[in-house]
Structure 1
Amino acid sequence: MSQQDSREQSLAKAFVSLADTLVDDYDVIELLTRLVDHSVELLDADAGGIMLADPHGQLRVVAASSEDAELTELMQLQSDQGPCLDCFRQAASVTVPDLAREASRWPVFVAAAMRRPLFRAVHAVPLRLRGEAVGALNLWHRQPSSMPATLLTLGQALADVATIGILQERAIRRTEVLNEQLQGALTSRVVIEQAKGVLAQHSGTSMDRSFDMLRRYARSNRRRLAEVARELTDRTLSPDAVLGAAASSD
């Protein structure tokens, strides 16, 4: 089998493996960890890592193929400079064949990295959506080296898979939150209707009038309407207390 055939076979396995993480018990960290491992293998790197922006736009290391890779990623975060940070900020690939030659570009990071030279080259590609980066995939090499354009293109494709996975995970979370909020609203409405019935039966007034009294009581006591309604239905709040408050405000 030729090297090209072997790479294509490995690439097919990689995409099948990544697709497996997007179904059933979806785990974004498992997706990113697999992505790093596959990227290191397919792109002839010695190590890899992924940084992802938190809701405040601050980068965090979320996956690394080795402790050395994670340490080097953290060096960049601590110095607030480096190829991977530039990749994220510019939403564009950053290729560094030899870190030792980039001291003027990232003085603090390069000085720290050269004190313990774990890696000499790095190639970073953005995790991006419509021109905006959400993170970066970083490929580290122990010796100075360049990366062919074809491999950089493949690296970007792998990073795009990660972006799709991350956005799917966020969409799932948003949907779950939305569903929880919707279910909460529906549940609260049922309780409020029950509380209106309790007041209407106790006072002999209409449902509309009962709802108005319920709202007045909640507002005057600076409480949530659903909480007051729940207390009425479970009898921890007396209907007379609500009726009395309404009468005093008339």
Structure 2
Amino acid sequence: MLVENLAETFVELADTLVADFDPVEFMHLLADRCVTALGVDAAGILLVDDQGELQVVGASSERARVLELFELQHRQGPCMECYLSSEPLTVAGFSEPRQRWPAFSAAAVTAGFGAVHAVPMRLREQTVGALNLFTVADSALGDTRARVARAMADVATIGLLQSQVISGRELLAEQLRHALRSRVLIEQAKGVLAERLQVDMGEAFDLLRHHARSNRLHLSLVAQDVVDGTIDTTVLTAGRS
């Protein structure tokens, strides 16, 4: 099953890597496919901005996104340490690391997670972020799934950079700035939809993403229309039960 899911995942990701691809949508797609291909319960992606600060740019669920934000706000946790060390890091249970990351460990348990596997997103010697895989059970990924997770992180990094050869930091910084600007815009649009349609933030994101995919639009463009008020928000619920 792992091989089948992995093959389908890489085909879908490769199909997404077109000249005009949407980096934020790509990151969310990759987070979702990590869940299905690796059998984890949630995934999140952190990228560093041009000021050297990590930002959340993709997550497979709202609770994973909130946990990632909590880690960044408290500046402690395995995902941040993975980025700083450029090395994979596994926490197979949150009982022992509570002395190391007490606030994050408590928040992870409260969110319903028992373990996390963090993988650096690295291009050559430069690390641009981390791919984080969460499980409800207290367990490690295992060697096979850990190797696949590294491959997924490599795909994410290459996808973000659109397979271009990076000779310096300028192109990388511009790609990351675009992704992070889009992330902020999407969060604003989620807030607008949550208020107007009386739905939670997770459902608001699902509505944005479904409309973007159904109409072959960039997720960030749909978000901009929602924020600007140039789209009837009820259109986003059309055909949705």
**TM-score, normalised on structure 2?**
0.66
**C-alpha separation in 1, matches of 2:132 and 2:120:** 9
Alignment of 1:153-192 (within 5 A): 153-168=147-162, 174=171
The residue type paired with residue 126 of structure 2 is E
Equivalent in the alignment of 1:39: 34
Q: Are the structure 2 counterparts of residues 59 and 168 from structure 1 closer, same or farther at C-alpha, using a change threshold of 3 Å?
A: same
1:16 has 2:11 as partner: yes
Counterparts of 1:23 and 1:97, CA distance in 2: 37
Residue 37 (structure 1) shift? 0.9
1:180 corresponds to: none
CA contact (8 A) 1:49 1:63 kept: yes
1:97 paired residue number: 92
CA contact (8 A) 1:128 1:163 kept: yes
| Equivalent residue in structure 1 for 2:24, among 14, 25, 29 | 29
> Measured at CA, do residues 170 and 111 of structure 1 come closer, stay the same or move farther in structure 2, by a change above 3 Å?
farther
What residue number does 1:83 align with? 78
CA deviations on 1:50-78 (whole Å, 9 max, x unpaired) are 01111111111101111111111111111
The aligned counterpart of 2:146 is 152
1:100–1:120 Cα contact (<8 Å) kept = no
Alignment RMSD (CA, Å):
2.2
Output the CA distance in 1 between the equivalents of 2:112 and 2:13.
Answer: 28
Secondary structure, aligned partner of 1:109: helix
- Equivalenced residues, count: 170
In 1, Cα distance between equivalents of 2:44 and 2:164: 21
CA distance in structure 2 between the partners assigned to 1:145 and 1:36 by the alignment: 19
Question: Which residue of 2 is the match for residue 184 of structure 1?
Answer: none
Q: Which amino acid in the other structure matches residue 38 of structure 2?
A: L
Q: Which amino acid aligns with 2:34?
A: S
Percent identity of paired positions between Structure 1 and Structure 2: 46
Letter in 2 for 1:122: V
Offset from partner CA, 1:8-51 (integer Å, 9 cap, x none)? 22211111111111114311112111111111111110011101
- Unmatched runs of 5 consecutive residues or more in structure 1: 1-5, 178-250
The CA distance in 2 between the partners of 1:39 and 1:84, in whole Å, is 16
Bigger RCO of structures 1 and 2 (CA < 8 A, at least 6 apart): 2
Greater Rg over alpha carbons, structure: 1
Contact kept? 2:67, 2:111, Cα under 8 Å: no
Unpaired runs of 5+ in structure 2?
A: 175-241
**Does residue 132 in structure 1 map to residue 151 in structure 2?**
no
- Structure-2 residue corresponding to 1:212: none
Q: 1:142 aligned to 125, 136, 141, which one?
A: 136
TM-score between both structures, scaled by the size of structure 1 = 0.63
SS of the aligned residue for 1:168 comes to coil
